[in-house]
């Protein structure tokens, strides 16, 4: 099935460099009109005002595509609202939002200033919230929306020195879970991309051979699938070097403890069974878990 974005309008944040640039080029190459957002900051979020977004716009236009540059800081609700207003004024509507902008301020938790923790949360989590909020009611009214948030293996699995980044990147998954549920009736599909790529964020960390394999253009096909017409929803797609896998938060069947077993000693004794992954499942929503425990708890007590 061919994937086309003809007639669609997309906003890609942090699209002046790295993955965002590649996503913007990929969307434009398949017909989308693209708002190329970038504040033009260094990897740690300092400075601003490079011409990176404009260069990507020129690149898209030189290939016959349509794009405008936008310099909104995603941490500003006002600026992101204005970005969406400008997109609608220029292209008529917004169909796709790719939340990609990001920074790093790595330090062990012991040495990390709370200001650096808050700044990373602000860019990744509140930046994503601001952009989603700015397009949400527009998408609800049009009964069409495709949104991607960008997480990281640090958020999914943890990484030494990245408590701020990991917390922010896990936070966007929580946001996706609820937006996917709330958007379902309005044809708004919300997914998460978990990339691993050779960009300025990772150039110091990986060998030249690995960097060569993990070029951003090996990831963008996955992003395009997450915002396509028949996109899935509430999916976390791992992507890197042309490899794609689904990341799932699962829950084991678990155990129901009653009587004397409903004690710390009982939980310790049952830990093997509690952690047994056989039959683990993905919960549809928060109440799936509540219903499961109500059912198991009642059965263990011989109640109907």
Q: Which residues are catalytic?
A: 165
Q: In whole angstroms, how close is the CB of 70 to ligand NAD at the nearest point?
A: 9
Residue closer to ligand NAD, measured from CB, 144 or 151: 151
Mark residue 302 as left, alpha or beta (left: phi above 0; alpha: psi -120 to 50; beta: remaining).
left
189 beta partners: 146
Q: In whole angstroms, how close is the CB of 18 to ligand NAD at the nearest point?
A: 2
156: which 2 tokens?
A: 């999914």
Contacts of 264 (CB under 8 A, 6+ apart): none
Q: In whole angstroms, how close is the CB of 206 to ligand NAD at the nearest point?
A: 8
* Residues binding ligand NAD (CB under 6 A): 13-14, 16-20, 37-41, 43, 45, 52, 73-75, 100-103, 123, 127, 150, 152, 195-197, 199-202
Residue closer to ligand NAD, measured from CB, 120 or 139: 120
Residue closer to ligand NAD, measured from CB, 127 or 145: 127
CA distance 73 to 303: 56
Cβ neighbour number for residue 85 with a 10 Å cutoff: 13
Find the residue with minimal CB distance to ligand NAD: 18
Residue closer to ligand NAD, measured from CB, 144 or 168: 168
Residue position matching structure tokens 């990339």: 195
Q: In whole angstroms, how close is the CB of 60 to ligand NAD at the nearest point?
A: 16
Q: In whole angstroms, how close is the CB of 108 to ligand NAD at the nearest point?
A: 19
Residue closer to ligand NAD, measured from CB, 119 or 144: 119
Q: In whole angstroms, how close is the CB of 270 to ligand NAD at the nearest point?
A: 36
Residue closer to ligand NAD, measured from CB, 32 or 104: 104
Q: In whole angstroms, how close is the CB of 197 to ligand NAD at the nearest point?
A: 4
The candidate with the shortest Cα–Cα distance to 134, out of 73, 85, 64, 93, is 85
């Amino acid at each position: 099935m061919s994937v086309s974005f003809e007639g669609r309008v997309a906003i890609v944040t942090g699209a002046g460099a790295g993955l965002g640039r590649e996503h913007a080029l990929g969307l434009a190459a398949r017909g989308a009109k693209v708002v190329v957002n970038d504040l033009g900051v260094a990897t740690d979020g300092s400075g601003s005002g490079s011409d990176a977004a404009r260069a990507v716009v020129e690149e898209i236009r030189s290939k016959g595509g349509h794009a405008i540059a936008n310099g909104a800081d995603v941490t500003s609700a006002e600026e992101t609202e204005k970005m969406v207003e400008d997109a609608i004024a220029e292209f008529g509507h917004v169909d796709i939002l790719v939340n990609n902008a990001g920074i790093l301020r790595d330090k062990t938790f012991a040495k990390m200033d709370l200001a650096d923790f808050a700044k990373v949360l602000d860019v990744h989590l509140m930046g994503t919230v601001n952009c989603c909020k700015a397009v949400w009611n527009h998408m609800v009214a049009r009964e069409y929306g495709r949104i991607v948030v960008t997480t990281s293996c640090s958020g999914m699995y943890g990484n030494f020195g990245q408590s701020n980044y990991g917390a922010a990147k896990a936070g966007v998954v929580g946001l996706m879970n609820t937006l996917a549920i709330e958007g379902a009736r309005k044809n708004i599909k919300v997914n998460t991309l978990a990339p691993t790529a050779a960009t300025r964020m990772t150039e110091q960390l990986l060998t030249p051979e690995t960097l060569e394999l993990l070029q951003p253009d090996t990831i963008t096909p996955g992003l395009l699938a997450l915002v396509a017409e028949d996109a899935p929803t509430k999916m976390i797609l791992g992507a890197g070097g042309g490899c794609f896998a689904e990341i799932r938060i699962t829950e084991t069947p678990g155990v129901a403890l009653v009587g004397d077993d409903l004690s710390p000693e009982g939980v310790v004794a049952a830990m093997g069974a509690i952690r047994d992954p056989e039959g683990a499942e993905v919960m549809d929503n928060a109440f799936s878990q509540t219903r499961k425990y109500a059912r198991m708890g009642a059965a263990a007590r011989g109640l109907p």
